[in-house]
Amino acid sequence: MTRDDCAGLDAGDVLAPLREQFDIPAGTIYLDGNSLGVLPRAAVDRVRQVVAEEWGQGLIQSWNDAGWIEQPQRVGDKIARLIGASPGEVVAADSTSLNLYKVLSVALTLMKADAPERRVIVSERDNFPTDLYIAESLARQHGFELKLVAADEIAQAVDSSVAVLMLTQVNYRTGRMHAMAEVTAAAHAAGALVIWDLCHSVGAVPVDLAASDADFAIGCGYKYLNGGPGAPAFLWLHPRHAARMDREQLWQPLAGWLGHAAPFAFTTDYRPAAGVARFVCGTPSIIALAALECGVDTVLAAEPFGGMQALRRKSIALTDLFIELVEQRCAGHGLELQSPRDPALRGSQASFLRGDGGYAIVQALIARGVIGDFRAPGLLRFGFTPLYVRFVDVWDAVEQLRQVLESAEWQQPRFQKTSAVT
């Protein structure tokens, strides 16, 4: 594979026009969309419109006139199209951590009612820390045990003691992807509920919550959905659980005023709204939701070109090429592939372990315009957003990595200083 071959792949890429949706800095190869997506061009004007017109001129009337009050549901309906959910089943609100707190609390409440002898929450030891911290907090509050296991131990760990299995579909460190339908079916057969964190999958790999018969799902808006730093997250629950909550008038634990059935009645008692609407807590962040909606639209723009299936095919091609080129062109420099080689088991990223200098190597790459990221103790992590990453970007990124390694440029003192955000 040569650079000209990569250019030929770009020339035949039906998704290539979608790159024009983004404002990518000149001279930058951005391989960190699994941490923060690139700015959509439309977001600049949309946020300006919200600030200058809807807020600046419309003021409080914009809750009605500009549809601010419907934003959590409207943006949620758009996200639903990417995760195999139906209109009215998803809300965009709050953060991933808060939404996990809500759905895990509900799941534990349901299991305490149905199977009080089950007192264990199982999760992957390598899960994203905030998920584990939230689960640990709730386990303490509700008298449960949080049990952490390796990825290949999950099936054996879900036994008659387990109430909830809580997993991230695509592992943030390695990119290893769980088979959602199979894992969910096995957990249900064992009598457990399943919560899926979609932070590293939504917008990058096809997700079908309904077909997988999942119970609950949450995810963030700032990675592959390109919603901007700190973008609102989203939340989904299976209609059977929503119907039960309606029937039994069950609360979610953060019973804020906009989750009330009639928030503007301003009653002193709480009555939950129907369905997923009760999971909206406080006043939504209108400016952030406007930016997130623009980001979600960039992913939905792929629908005429084959949608998530087309994005997935390109994602696999990009990551396969990156792995192949790194192993060919950077051989002998101590890089060990940590992501699954089988693309069916891999999300849209490739991670390599280096025994020493990993952080400095990434910093040297960033100085050359190739932006990836580092995760301790020695993981070089590269994300591939098929909406805007090109095949020539992959070639050029690996060439820059080769030069950094062969020249030992990463050993320069300026690359050794650790920043607050790594």
Across-strand partners of 382?
350
pLDDT at 3: 97
Which token pair is 299?
Answer: 């992913």
| Catalytic machinery residues | 128, 197, 222-223, 381
- Look at residues 299, 304, 229, 316 and name the one whose alpha carbon lies nearest to residue 80: 299
Indicate whether 280 and 345 sit together in one domain. no
Q: What is the pLDDT of residue 422?
A: 81
Q: What confidence category does residue 335 fall into, taking pLDDT thresholds of 50, 70 and 90?
A: very high
Q: Which amino acid is at 259?
A: G
Each residue's pLDDT tens digit, 378-393: 999 999 999 999 999 9
Q: Do residue 292 and residue 316 come from a single domain? A: no
Quick one: average pLDDT of 285-304?
Answer: 98
Q: What letter does residue 266 receive in the DSSP assignment?
A: -
How far apart (Å, rounded) are the C-alpha atoms in residues 384 and 316? 9
275 within some domain = yes
DSSP string, 320-339: HHHHHHHHHHSTTS-EEE-S
Per-residue pLDDT at 128 exceeds 90: yes
Say if residue 259 is in the same domain as residue 364. Answer: no
> Residues 290, 192: one domain?
yes
Please state the rounded mean pLDDT for residues 303-315: 98
Domain-ending residue, one of 265, 299, 333: 299
For residues 26 and 67, state if they share a domain: no
For residues 349 and 200, the answer to whether their CB atoms sit within 8 Å is yes
Give the integer Cα–Cα distance in Å for 344 and 194: 21
pLDDT tens-digit map of 71-115: 999 999 999 999 999 999 999 999 999 999 999 999 999 999 999
Return the pLDDT at 100: 98
pLDDT for res 384: 98
The continuous run of DSSP H or E covering 183 comes out as helix 180-189
Please check whether residues 252 and 396 belong to one and the same domain: no
> What would the mean pLDDT of 118-145 be, rounded to a whole number?
97
Query: Taking all residues of the chain, what is their mean pLDDT, rounded to a whole number?
Result: 97
Tokens 């390598």 locate to 126
Q: Per the domain annotation, does 420 fall within a domain?
A: no
User: Has residue 408 been placed in a domain?
Assistant: yes
Least confident of 285-289, 300-304, 339-343, 415-419: 415-419
| Full-model pTM | 0.97
Helix axis angle, 391-407 relative to 3-11, nearest 10°? Answer: 160
What tokens does 242 get? 């929503």
Q: Which residue has the higher pLDDT, 222 or 355?
A: 222
pLDDT in tens, 346-361: 999 999 999 999 999 9
Calculate the alpha carbon distances from 99 to 26, 126, 196, 285, 337 in Å.
36, 20, 12, 15, 33
Q: Which of 281, 299, 317 is the last residue of a domain?
A: 299
Mean pLDDT of 290-319: 98
CA distances from 262 to 61, 179, 266, 270, 277 (A): 19, 40, 8, 9, 11
Could you tell me if residue 422 is inside a domain?
no
User: What mean pLDDT do residues 306-323 have?
Assistant: 98
pLDDT score of 56 more than 90:
yes
Backbone φ, ψ for residue 326 (5° rounding): -60, -45
Give Rg (Cα) of the chain: 22
Q: What is the pLDDT of residues 322-334, one digit of tens each?
A: 999 999 999 999 9
Both 221 and 236 in one domain: the answer is yes
Query: Would residue 277 count as lying in a domain?
Result: yes
pLDDT for the residue 258: 96
Residue 39 lies in a domain: no
What pLDDT score was predicted for residue 366? Answer: 98
421 inside domain:
no
Instruction: Give the C-alpha separation, 243 to 249, whole Å.
Output: 10
The pLDDT value given to residue 334? 96
Same structural domain for residues 91 and 169? yes
pLDDT score at 182 = 98
In sequence order, what are the residues at sequence separation of 6 or more whose Cβ sits closer than 8 angstroms to the Cβ of residue 15?
Answer: 302, 305, 310, 311, 314, 386, 387
Q: What is the pLDDT of residues 245-294, one digit of tens each?
A: 999 999 999 999 999 999 999 999 999 999 999 999 999 999 999 999 99
CB of 221 closer than 8 Å to CB of 231: yes
Question: Within this chain, do residues 22 and 84 fall inside the same structural domain, yes or no?
Answer: no
Say how many C-beta atoms besides its own lie within 10 A of residue 337's C-beta. Answer: 14
Domain that holds residue 75: 49-299
How far, in whole angstroms, is CA 168 from its chain's centroid? 9
> What is the CATH number for 335?
3.90.1150.10
CATH of the domain at 267: 3.40.640.10
Domain stops at, among 247, 273, 299: 299
**Are 293 and 311 in a shared domain?**
no
Q: Is residue 289 located within the same domain as residue 383?
A: no
Q: Judge if 164 and 219 occupy the same domain.
A: yes
- Confidence tier at 407 by pLDDT (50, 70, 90): very high
Question: Does residue 26 lie within any of the structural domains?
Answer: yes
Q: How many domains does the chain have?
A: 2
